[in-house]
Amino acid sequence: MKNFTNKFLAVILMTAGVSYSFAQVRIVNTSTNPSIANSSAFIDASSNTTTNPTSNIGKGLIFPRVDLTAFTAFNPAGPGGVGIANNYPTRFDGMIVYNTATTGAAGVGTTSEPLFAGFWYYDNKSTTVTGGTWRPIVGSGGRENILTTETTTNRFINNAQIFGRKGTFTTDGTSTAPTGYSNAISIPATATAGVYRVTVFKAGTGSVFANGVYSYDITNGNLITGSPSMSVVYPAGTYDYVVEYTK
């Protein structure tokens, strides 16, 4: 009789605990909480005074912390495999984590740029779980890193997103036109595409040739050095440049 009583009390306590937890947080499509089955919010703790009795309680969400360099697989695959209608149909596209690694690359998928601490999301439009790219949420790390691939900056101009890419060009010392390009930067053709800024510099020398571009062709990336008031022939050599643009 004593054992039966103890088990009965344990069941009552467990039931009360579950009821209390669902009273604090409302979760959509939970059988024990049918009152919000059709809510647009999948989880809600904002309207419950149990969780929000004061201005200092129940006000924030702490995301899982992960070292993306050590994150090497998406698990579990689940019945039927990932990518079907009822099992991660978007193959983790849009998954958000707080990354703690300060350098390196993610252990699964590709990485848009060297890792830094902050919020990252998995951009996966491919047909495989590992075919996506980890990208930083703009502004979460307080910096941007313009690479030879298209980089989304944390800046806008006239409500248009500014993108950036880095390339290099070579000159022969006799002409204002470069003699060759590496990673020539052309801008995707759209009705709103435009060059925001072109900056020329010479890495490792301390020499800066900022905005020293007379003209720039957005269709093929060809540029002419100089300014509207004078031609400038750069000494023979290789120069770095960054093109920032809208599209």
Q: Which of 143, 164, 191 is where one domain is finished? A: 143
Nearest to residue 221, comparing CAs of 245, 203, 205? 245
- Mean pLDDT score across all residues of the chain: 79
Q: Say whether both 236 and 177 belong to one domain.
A: yes
Question: How many CB atoms within 10 Å of residue 242?
Answer: 17
Q: Say whether both 98 and 158 belong to one domain.
A: no
In a domain, 52, yes or no: no
Beta bridge mates, 241:
167, 200
- The reported pLDDT for the residue numbered 165 is 93
Q: Is 239 helix (H, G, I), strand (E, B) or coil?
A: strand
Q: Say whether both 158 and 235 belong to one domain.
A: yes
pTM of the model: 0.54
Q: For 97-119, what is each residue's pLDDT tens digit? A: 999 998 899 999 999 888 888 89
Nearest to residue 243, comparing CAs of 165, 135, 169? 165
CA count, 13 A, side-chain hemisphere, 217 = 9
- Upstream peptide bond of 76 is cis (omega within 30 degrees of 0): yes
- The reported pLDDT for the residue numbered 79 is 59
In a domain, 51, yes or no: no
* Torsion angles phi and psi, residue 66, rounded to 5: -145, 140
Beta bridge mates, 168:
182, 240
Q: Which of 103, 124, 143 is where one domain is finished? A: 143
In a domain, 53, yes or no: no
Where is pLDDT greater, at 7 or 135? 135
Q: Say whether both 139 and 158 belong to one domain.
A: no
- What is the helix (H) or strand (E) element at residue 2, kind and residue range? helix 2-24
In a domain, 49, yes or no: no
Question: How many CB atoms within 10 Å of residue 243?
Answer: 24
Q: Say whether both 111 and 30 belong to one domain.
A: no
Q: Say whether both 156 and 238 belong to one domain.
A: yes
What percentage of the chain carries pLDDT values higher than 90? Answer: 24
In a domain, 50, yes or no: no
In a domain, 197, yes or no: yes
- The reported pLDDT for the residue numbered 110 is 93
Where is pLDDT greater, at 79 or 114? 114
> Which band of pLDDT confidence, cut at 50, 70 and 90, is reported for residue 201?
confident
> Which band of pLDDT confidence, cut at 50, 70 and 90, is reported for residue 51?
low
Q: Which domain holds residue 209?
A: 151-246
**Structural domains of the chain, count:** 3
Q: Which of 143, 165, 191 is where one domain is finished? A: 143
- The reported pLDDT for the residue numbered 207 is 65
Nearest to residue 51, comparing CAs of 28, 12, 22? 22
Average pLDDT on 30-36 reads 64
* Torsion angles phi and psi, residue 58, rounded to 5: 65, 40
Q: For 144-196, what is each residue's pLDDT tens digit? A: 788 898 888 878 888 888 999 999 999 999 999 999 999 889 888 888 888 99
Q: Say whether both 236 and 161 belong to one domain.
A: yes
